[in-house]
Structure 1
Amino acid sequence: MAVRLKIEGEMVRGRFLSRKNRFSLLAELADETGKARKFECHLPNPGRLNELLVPGAELLLKPAKDPDRRKTKFDVFAVKAEGRTVVVDSKVPNQIMREAFSSGEVPEFSGYELVRSEPRFGKSRLDFLLQGEGMCLVEVKSCTLVRNGIALFPDAPTERGRRHLSELARAHEEGYRACIVFVIQREGAWSFMPNDETDPDFGAVLRKVAARGVEAIALATKYRKGHVELIGEVPVDLSAPNKVN
């Protein structure tokens, strides 16, 4: 699987200090003179990220393209955890899946072409509409939480995620191929499970719609300087709920 997403611009390193709200955090990094300073940074991920955002955690930050027009001068791209780089930018999964559809390199979607992004279906906007042997609706989710080699989603209760699953089930009933793709934004995951401990309702709905024909697919990625690469598919375990320590 040779799907790579180029990440433009240079990264700078910082240290996590505290989270201000869902979309911003306080970080420490060196200024132009080398002196340590505190900066408020944009966090493009509303998840809890409790396992990642611990005091002192190393951050990879992207300088803003238009710093004079923004309150924050940096965007948080990734966090170092357990010796691995975990991409937390929640835009990346959709970007790399768009590359995957264009390249035709992902076996799960062989023979399909991208028709458009953000198609409306029911009361929701899903992520992609594809065409191949029929029409295919795809919803993509960013997964950053891994415990004991098991990738888990979500890391916070998600009513929106449950609604998307219900829309996918209805699409399948109307003749679409319907898929939910969990993009694991780190290495070290060998399987995927719904995070029943955090959101048992999401897990229950996922199992229900999968039994009705919605496909659950998990794809792992890795970050290397300058790009994010799809590694390949990992097994999805939808067996009875289990607590993962």
Structure 2
Amino acid sequence: MLFPSPLVPARLVRRYKRFLADCRLDDGEEVTAHVANSGSMLGLATPGSRVYLAPSSDPKRKLAWSWQLVEVDGALVGIDTGLSNRIVAEAIAGGRIRALAGYDRLRREVPYGERSRVDMLLEGDGRPPCYVEVKSVTLSRRPGLAEFPDAVTARGAKHLAELAAVVRGGARAVLLYLVQRGDCHSFELAADIDPTYAAAAGAARAAGVERLVVHADVMPAGIEIRSDF
């Protein structure tokens, strides 16, 4: 996935109200950027960090900037969780996720469960439908180790129970963790942050929900899935 226009470097002044960040451009101008990330962004919002912003010329937008990347110890991290589904969908279409290859159709935001929408539904003649839920992974508290979640997520636990239900109904279900940072080579659930989610993930795997971890190369030009862990 390529960014539609070149990102603009800046320094983070502060993140606040979850979805707002004040940043200082290299020319000294201070701007407010939208933060498309509802998590805690633990370890990613240190004032003074090098960040990369996407500009917008859309007059209907309230904010002209969106925070896309942050540099942590020399590695870039993609913080815009709103892009996760697009990154994964492009990788599936390009055949870069072997475990999800061979389906003829991909539909997005399909209703299922109890007033939920699955991120992607893969369908193909002669095979069960595959429900894919995507989680963006940005947390790393130990060198090389990516973790999820970075905050308590009741919604995430609900999705796990609903994926287990579709498996019991004869479909395939995959919980895909997209690691949006280039300095990690392994993955674990952050059970100390959200033990309820970790327990729900274990129950879902026991019920047949597959866990798939994929790694993305994060670059100023774009974010692209490179390989499965």
Within 5 Å, give how 1:41-56 maps onto structure 2: 41-56=33-48
Query: What is the CA RMSD across the aligned residues, in angstroms?
Result: 1.3
* Post-superposition CA distance 1:181-215 (Å, at most 9, x none): 00000112222111111111100100111011000
Offset at residue 92 of structure 1 (A): 2.1
**1:198 aligned residue:** 193
Q: Secondary structure at the match of 1:85?
A: strand
1:71 matched to 2:75 = no
Offset at residue 112 of structure 1 (A): 1.6
Aligned equivalents of 2:215, 2:33: Cα separation in 1: 27
Offset at residue 131 of structure 1 (A): 1.4
* Post-superposition CA distance 1:51-78 (Å, at most 9, x none): 0110100110001231x43332210000
Q: Secondary structure at the match of 1:190?
A: strand
Q: Secondary structure at the match of 1:206?
A: helix
Aligned equivalents of 1:12, 1:95: Cα separation in 2: 21
**2:112 aligned residue:** 121
**1:134 aligned residue:** 128
Contact kept, 8 Å, 1:102 with 1:114, in 2: the verdict is: no
Number of equivalenced pairs: 225
TM score, norm. by length of structure 1: 0.88
Q: Secondary structure at the match of 1:210?
A: helix
Offset at residue 14 of structure 1 (A): 0.8
Within 5 Å, give how 1:25-174 maps onto structure 2: 25-30=21-26, 34=27, 36-66=28-58, 68-123=59-114, 124-132=116-124, 133-146=127-140, 147-174=142-169
Aligned equivalents of 2:151, 2:104: Cα separation in 1: 32
Aligned equivalents of 2:111, 2:201: Cα separation in 1: 21
1:184 matched to 2:175 = no
Q: Which amino acid aligns with 1:154?
A: P
Offset at residue 19 of structure 1 (A): 1.4
Within 5 Å, give how 1:199-238 maps onto structure 2: 199-234=194-229
Q: Which sections of structure 2, spanning at least 5 residues, go unmatched?
A: none
Offset at residue 107 of structure 1 (A): 0.7
Aligned equivalents of 2:104, 2:191: Cα separation in 1: 34
Q: 1:70 to 1:111 in 2, by over 3 A?
A: closer
Kindly report structure 1 stretches of 4+ aligned residues shifted beyond 4 Å.
none
Contact kept, 8 Å, 2:6 with 2:220, in 1: the verdict is: no
Contact kept, 8 Å, 1:39 with 1:72, in 2: the verdict is: no
TM score, norm. by length of structure 2: 0.94
Q: Which amino acid aligns with 2:36?
A: P
Offset at residue 217 of structure 1 (A): 0.5
Q: 1:139 to 1:9 in 2, by over 3 A?
A: same
Contact kept, 8 Å, 1:16 with 1:57, in 2: the verdict is: yes
State the percentage of identical aligned residues: 33
Q: 1:105 to 1:70 in 2, by over 3 A?
A: closer
